[in-house]
């Protein structure tokens, strides 16, 4: 396994020395003497244990800590004192039953690029209202209407890969695909000129998102900030045009434009722009990474791949050899493929953990979580715990023939801040797999093993592969 270079993180730690104290005393809402901090090491002053985390596979770092200290332990990473939680009960405590005691938290540098009005930076009534607007667009009743368009995007992309004859960086192409679907769900059928401008500037923002946050001319972060301003201008033009035409679209932009709160207040253009960018961020990298992993897992298990093909051939044949689009009912009738998607989500655990911050002193199982400390439910540790998933490092879709125990399967988080686009992400995966296995073949080029973190866990080098169309004899066999 490989990890990303630790140099950016070393620089980041030095940058944050003046911004974060090692251990900060807090005003207590609890009698602190009754409770003690969780076990664990805080590492070196200021730097903490960040070097240990990013100089090795982060999974090993977290698992080693859990084995030594148990399901709750403390550490100090990225300039912040943290409490790690590695049990279903702890994840539910933070994300569901006591969510009001913990707020979502992101580094300010990242918040600037997405926009402070985006959904996932808020809580309470503001968050509830914004979430309802987003969910209207991403609920099953809404996304089922997108199936023909998603199919068209998928098949067009795969046709271009096959026609090129070139080695394709699968992850990179999946990012382009998921971006297109994100644009579709936000704007419907957007003018190509606007789409190209949005994609060009969004890619610059995406590159700067995980870079060292120095606002100096020429740096990736500086370029990202400028691109983010250009995105605001482009979105302003789209909003203005939509208002002038008085289009009553039911896409996300339409819902955002038509929103009024109890006092009759509407959303500003800045609020609308931030939430559009937020949805694009949430929709692209994670979905692209999961789909890339699905193709990797199918490639590595020929018997499973043949079984998935057999399931999809039936649907393909019933659609007159793919001449008719998939239906919503058909995407709900892919039990094996759906289990492959779920097992890929578990195995890959794209979102390894989530960040929260204690808004008051909190007691959990006799331990103190001080106000201001970061709190991180470790989804990957839970997903890979043999107590909940036997042989957790084996890819076995059959384990999802029975529903997992509550709070043990959290690929999209849990509670009020869980991902509202989870159904769209799964739908994208099902549609892509259907067309991959019925229309195309692929062969991996280079190394077929290894993981890199950029920052999500992805197959080595983005899973480079060459794709080509199935032979006509295969098509005739499928649809006699």
Cα torsion for 63, 66, 69, 73, to the nearest 10°? 110
- Place 260 in a pLDDT band, splitting at 50, 70 and 90: confident
What are the helix (H) ranges across 80-169? 88-92, 108-114, 124-138, 140-143, 147-164
**CB contact at 8 A, 153 and 445:** no
Q: Is 215 within the bounds of a domain?
A: no
pLDDT at position 475 over 80: no
Gap between the Cα atoms of 475 and 433, Å rounded? 16
Please provide the DSSP assignment of 263-310 as one string: T-PPPPHHHHHHHHHHHHHHHHHHHHHHHHHHHHHHHH-HHHHHHHHH
Residue 476 pLDDT? 40
Q: Is 44 within the bounds of a domain?
A: yes
Residue 19 pLDDT? 42
The residue range of the domain holding 62 is 1-116+352-383
Gap between the Cα atoms of 273 and 118, Å rounded? 8
Number of compact structural domains in the chain: 1
Q: Is 82 within the bounds of a domain?
A: yes
Residue 314 pLDDT? 96
pLDDT at position 56 over 90: no
| Among 231, 266, 229, 242, residue whose Cα is nearest residue 187 | 242
CATH number of the CATH domain containing 370: 3.30.43.20
The percentage of the chain sitting over the pLDDT mark of 90, rounded to a whole number, equals 62
Q: Is 35 within the bounds of a domain?
A: yes
Average pLDDT over residues 93-100: 95
Q: What is each CA distance from 19 to 22, 79, 108, in whole angstroms?
A: 10, 8, 12
pLDDT at position 22 over 60: no
pLDDT at position 26 over 60: no
Tokens of 54: 């990013």
* pTM above threshold 0.95: no
pLDDT tens for 347-365 read 999 888 888 999 999 999 9
**CB contact at 8 A, 295 and 441:** no
Residue 454 pLDDT? 64
pLDDT tens for 177-207 read 999 999 999 999 999 999 999 999 999 999 8
Q: Is 329 within the bounds of a domain?
A: no
Q: Is the dihedral of CA 426, 432, 436, 438 positive or negative?
A: positive
Q: Is 12 within the bounds of a domain?
A: yes
Q: Is 345 within the bounds of a domain?
A: no
Tokens of 29: 């809402």
Mean pLDDT, rounded, of the chain: 87
Q: Is 98 within the bounds of a domain?
A: yes
419 among annotated binding-site residues = yes
Average pLDDT over residues 48-75: 84
């Amino acid at each position: 396994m490989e990890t990303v270079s630790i140099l950016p993180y070393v620089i980041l730690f030095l940058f944050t020395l003046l911004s974060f104290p090692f251990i900060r005393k807090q005003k207590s809402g609890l009698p602190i003497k009754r409770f003690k901090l969780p076990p664990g090491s805080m590492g070196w002053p200021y730097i903490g244990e960040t070097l240990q985390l990013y100089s090795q596979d982060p999974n090993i770092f977290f698992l080693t800590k859990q084995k030594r200290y148990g399901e709750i332990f403390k550490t100090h990473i990225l300039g912040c004192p943290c409490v790690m939680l590695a049990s279903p009960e702890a994840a539910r405590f933070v994300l569901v039953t006591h969510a009001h005691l913990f707020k979502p938290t992101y580094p300010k540098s990242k918040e600037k690029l997405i926009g402070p009005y985006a959904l996932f930076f808020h809580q309470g009534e503001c968050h509830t209202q914004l979430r309802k607007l987003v969910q209207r667009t991403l609920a099953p009743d809404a996304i089922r209407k997108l199936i023909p368009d998603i199919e068209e995007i998928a098949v067009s992309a795969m046709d271009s890969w096959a026609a090129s004859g070139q080695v394709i960086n699968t992850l990179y192409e999946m990012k382009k695909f998921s971006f297109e679907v994100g644009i579709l769900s936000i704007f419907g059928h957007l003018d190509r000129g606007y789409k190209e401008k949005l994609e060009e500037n969004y890619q610059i923002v995406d590159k700067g998102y995980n870079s060292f946050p120095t606002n100096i001319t020429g740096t990736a972060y500086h370029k990202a900030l400028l691109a983010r301003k250009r995105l605001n201008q482009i979105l302003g033009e789209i909003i203005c045009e939509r208002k002038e035409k008085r289009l009553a679209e039911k896409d996300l932009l339409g819902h955002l434009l038509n929103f009024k709160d109890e006092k009759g207040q509407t959303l500003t253009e800045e609020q609308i722009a931030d939430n559009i960018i937020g949805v694009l961020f949430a929709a692209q990298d994670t979905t692209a990474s999961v789909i890339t992993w699905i193709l990797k897992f199918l490639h590595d298990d020929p018997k499973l791949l043949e079984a998935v093909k057999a399931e999809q051939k039936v649907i393909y044949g019933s659609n007159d050899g793919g001449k008719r689009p998939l239906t919503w009912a058909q995407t709900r009738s892919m039990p094996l493929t759906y289990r492959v998607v779920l097992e890929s989500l578990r195995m890959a655990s794209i979102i390894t953990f989530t960040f929260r911050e204690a808004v008051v002193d909190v007691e959990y199982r006799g331990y103190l979580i001080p106000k201001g400390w970061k709190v991180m439910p470790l989804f990957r540790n839970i997903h890979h715990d043999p107590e909940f998933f036997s042989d957790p490092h084996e890819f076995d879709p059959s384990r999802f023939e029975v529903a997992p125990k509550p709070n043990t399967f959290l690929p999209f988080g849990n509670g009020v801040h869980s991902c509202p686009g989870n159904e769209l992400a799964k739908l994208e995966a099902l549609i892509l797999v259907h067309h991959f296995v019925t229309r195309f073949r692929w062969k991996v080029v280079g190394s077929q093993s290894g993981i890199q973190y950029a920052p999500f866990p992805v197959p080595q080098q983005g899973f480079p592969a060459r794709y080509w169309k199935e032979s006509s004899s295969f098509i005739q066999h499928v649809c006699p």
